[in-house]
Amino acid sequence: MRGPHDVGGLEAGPVDTTTHDMSFWEKQIDALHALVGDEKRGIVPKGQNRRYVEALGEDVYNTLNYYERWTATMSQQLLEKGILTRDEIDAKVKEIRDRLEATGELELGQGEAEKI
């Protein structure tokens, strides 16, 4: 059975190979991922992230971009390991969203409002 990530041999159109500068939050997620997956002190073995990303389900997988998938799976792994609680994550997300709304920094791109 194919997962949403397995598109080999399917009609999918051209692949966008243009590069883009990573946004600040993407750099943060990349750094956090490196920390929690560190071989000596890591919390989550590096190979586990792929399994979690592949288990997101087709709708979620196809809705989120690369780093949004990493964020979703890292949250899930930290919840399952008892490192964070859903209430802690929700409170921090609310705090950040409120701060960004107050400063006018919360600008959603097309299609992003549906992800919130």
**Domain coordinates of the chain in residue numbers?**
24-106
Q: Residues 78, 54: contact at Cβ < 8 Å?
A: no
Q: Flag the least confident range among 22-36, 41-55, 80-94.
A: 41-55
Q: Indicate the fold that domain 24-106 takes in CATH.
A: Cyclin A; domain 1 (1.10.472)
Residue 43 has pLDDT above 60, yes or no: yes
Q: What is the mean pLDDT of residues 12-22?
A: 80
Whole-model pTM over 0.85: no
pLDDT of residue 9: 64
Flag whether pLDDT at 46 surpasses 60: yes
Residue 68 CB coordination number (10 Å) = 16
Contact between 61 and 68 under an 8 Å Cβ cutoff? The reply is: no
